[in-house]
Amino acid sequence: MNQYHLPVRPRRLRQSAPMRALVRETTLRPSALVLPVFVREGATEPQPITSMPGVVQHTLDSLVAEGHRALEAGVGGIMLFGVPEAKDAVGSGAVDPDGILNLATARLSEQFGDDLLIMTDLCLDEFTDHGHCGVLDERGRVDNDATLEVYAQMAVAQAEAGAHVVGPSGMMDGQVGVIRHALDDAGFDDVTILAYTAKYASAFYGPFREAVNSSLQGDRRTYQQDPANLRESLYELELDIAEGADIVMVKPGMPYLDVLTRVAEASPVPVATYQVSGEYAMIQAAAERGWIDRQRVILESLTSFARAGADIVLTYAAIEAATWIREGAHA
């Protein structure tokens, strides 16, 4: 007989795996996960990224193989980033049909058609010799409107190569509207825009700089958001929706769960988040030292994004996580 009369016992709903599964509030779907991948021009074999163990710069051939793995795992899509051999001040490789990002997009499109959702990063930082997300004016500042002209050309080039989704990530004012007009005028009204709506000037991007062989000089605080701000993200959301965004995103992920929740509550369109390179690298480093259970931490972190309101999660662990989920694992 129980010592106390406790009519309310929340532990009743935690007593067994079937009971916990029955009342679980948040579940992960493999199709909600997107795999970011890097493809390197001139590479003859995949190049490991030292700060992101398990992630590589792909060749065109290994990229196709990764696409097959992603399709088999049931992930929602692939987000492509290009790593060119040559860069210049205006990022001309980004609009060149023979540029590495457009070639990789075309290669995946030819291989998979509509079976695998192909997403492309729409930004100049990988292609400029100064590493900024736009072209610079005579004083060395990022020229917002001149950059928009290039973004419009990039969007059309990526759509022509076969992209289903373009992801403008440069945080230029008006980028979504300009890209939407350019796509529609070129006859690509069915290409989706995944807007990087709230992209913060975060220290968590460090390993990504290695992944794309970044040439960044200075920082991006004049166009990416101040980590201290939240209301600003809701304003950016209003603007992106008005300009035609089909999906909106908060980046990074875990340090900005509060922003993600507020954006999800206010957004009339699906919401994505990005578990960025620094988040992934910290998990990898701690797991390699035996300090954490890698699988459980990855699934717990991804579940936190879904619980906070994300419909879509970009993560470098997408294939693994999708496989674990299909095998019945959960956080």
Which one is catalytic: 58, 164, 251, 262? 251
Catalytic option among 87, 180, 199, 262: 199
For residue 282, give the CATH number of its domain: 3.20.20.70
Q: What is the pLDDT of residue 300?
A: 97
Which residue from 126, 170, 169, 129 is spatially nearest to 146, judged by alpha carbons? 170
Residue pair 58/39 in contact (Cβ under 8 Å)? The answer is: yes
Residue 6 lies in a domain: no
For the stretch 110-159, pLDDT in tens is 999 999 999 999 999 999 999 999 999 999 999 999 999 999 999 999 99
- Whether pTM > 0.85 for this model: the answer is yes
User: By residue range, what is the domain housing residue 129?
Assistant: 24-326
pLDDT band at 62 (very low <50, low <70, confident <90, very high): very high
pLDDT above 90 (res 2):
no
pLDDT band, residue 4 (cuts 50/70/90)? confident
199 given a catalytic annotation: yes
Distance of CA 198 to the CA centre of its chain: 12
Question: Mean pLDDT over all residues of the chain?
Answer: 96
Position 1 in a domain: no
In a domain, residue 12? The reply is: no
Would strands 47-48 and 56-58 be described as parallel, antiparallel, or unpaired? antiparallel
Q: Alpha carbon 120 to chain centroid distance?
A: 10
The residue among 35, 58, 222 whose CA lies nearest residue 132 is 222
Q: What is the per-residue pLDDT across 287-328, written as a single tens digit (0 to 9) for each?
A: 999 999 999 999 999 999 999 999 999 999 999 999 999 998
Q: How many structural domains does the chain have?
A: 1
Considering the domain boundaries, does residue 150 fall inside one? yes
Is 87 an annotated catalytic residue?
no
**5 within some domain:** no
**pLDDT reported for residue 189:** 98
